[in-house]
Amino acid sequence: ERKAALAASSGPGATSDGHKVPLLANVGGPADVPAAVEAGAEGVGLFRTEFLFLDDSKKAPSEEKQVESYRKVLEAFPEGRVVVRVLDAGADKPLDFLTPADEPNPALGVRGLRSLLDHPDVLRTQLTALAKAAEGLPVYLEVMAPMVADRTDAKAFADACREAGLRAKFGAMVEIPSAALRARSILQEVEFLSLGTNDLAQYAFAADRQVGAVSRLQDPWQPALLDLIAMSAEAAKAEGKSCGVCGEAASDPLLACVLTGLGVTSLSMGAASIPYVRATLAKHTLAQCERAAAAARACDSAEEARVAAQAVLSGE
């Protein structure tokens, strides 16, 4: 029965009453594209470009090498959306030429956008490579920055994109609670938000995502995390802009319904999860998703939130 349900699951992501929620794939490079296409992804919601940089920790890949890799991903989704994240180095992904080696607390140090703003040449080369890769393609390119903390960060990134002559939408990832709290001010500088729920949970709960002992606090059903997501989605709606999710949270079919109910406008996940999320979303109306979201937020723990949302969605 499960197999049949999945086989029947194709086409764009939507609730049973037709509220569209584009289902996008997280990819690390061209090698991940076939699986994304196979799963019926409507585009890429998170292209983690750092894998291209991890081959050589001494220097950045040449502009030509970058153009080649980006173009392969962009070509796979004609007419589709591709959201590329600029290099997110540091913390769990250190790069000798870019990130300081002697930080006492690398997750709170010079990582993500911070390291790119310290190395404008690396950011410029990447943005120029993206502009060249997209040339002549019908794809709808969006470029976003990781670890945006405030409006100053968002403006610095948007300025760098404009200076590189990039014709794309510029966005900010919401991975730091300060960005969720002041999402409307960030949206004065950029055109969309994308919630990185893995890091957002890590920073909201002061719980290292690499430390198993604190995994309870990394649970994406935590009501405080749902509050931060709701806050970001509401800000985007008020500004007439979009707010997707590209963290692990989007790959849990039940939670995907809750995220939809919170006002999230697209969901990006590993390709393997797309059919399950599509099938579950298609069984529920937007109003049900909204009720499930409200029920989850009314709880005091991740476990209770999951049970409460499940009860609403199964019509109990």
Site string for Mg ion, 159-198 (x = CB under 5 A): ----------------x--------------------x--
CB of 171 to ligand PEP, least distance (A): 13
Figure out which of the listed residues 199, 230, 235, 302 binds ligand PEP, where binding follows CB under 6 A. 199
Backbone φ and ψ of 161, nearest 5° = -65, -45
Piece of the chain touching ligand PEP by CB under 6 A; list 101-109, 180-188, 191-199, 221-229: 191-199
**Footprint of ligand PEP on residues 77-96 (CB under 6 A)?**
88
**Separation between Cα atoms, residue 43 and residue 186, nearest integer Å:** 25
- Identity of the residue, 32 or 199, whose beta carbon is nearer to ligand PEP in the bound complex: 199
CB of 278 to ligand PEP, least distance (A): 20
Across the strands, what pairs with 169?
142
**Footprint of ligand PEP on residues 8-47 (CB under 6 A)?**
46
Structure-derived torsion over alpha carbons of residues 199, 203, 209, 212, reported in degrees to the nearest 10: -150
266 is a site residue for ligand PEP (CB under 6 A): no
Q: Residue 142: how many CA atoms within 13 Å on its side-chain side?
A: 24
- Identity of the residue, 25 or 308, whose beta carbon is nearer to ligand PEP in the bound complex: 25
**Alpha-carbon distances, residue 172 vs 3, 58, 152, 206, 251 (angstroms):** 37, 27, 12, 21, 21
Active site residues: 246
Figure out which of the listed residues 99, 197, 242, 266 binds ligand PEP, where binding follows CB under 6 A. 197
Piece of the chain touching ligand PEP by CB under 6 A; list 66-74, 95-103, 164-172, 193-201: 193-201
Using left for φ > 0, alpha for ψ between -120 and 50, and beta otherwise, residue 137 falls in beta
Figure out which of the listed residues 141, 204, 246, 305 binds ligand PEP, where binding follows CB under 6 A. 246
The residue among 307, 152, 305, 311 whose CA lies nearest residue 227 is: 305
User: Which residues, 6 or more positions from 48, have their beta carbon under 8 angstroms from its beta carbon?
Assistant: 26, 27, 28, 85, 88
Residues that bind Mg ion (CB under 5 A): 175, 196, 199
Residues that bind ligand PEP (CB under 6 A): 46, 48, 88, 175, 196-199, 246-247
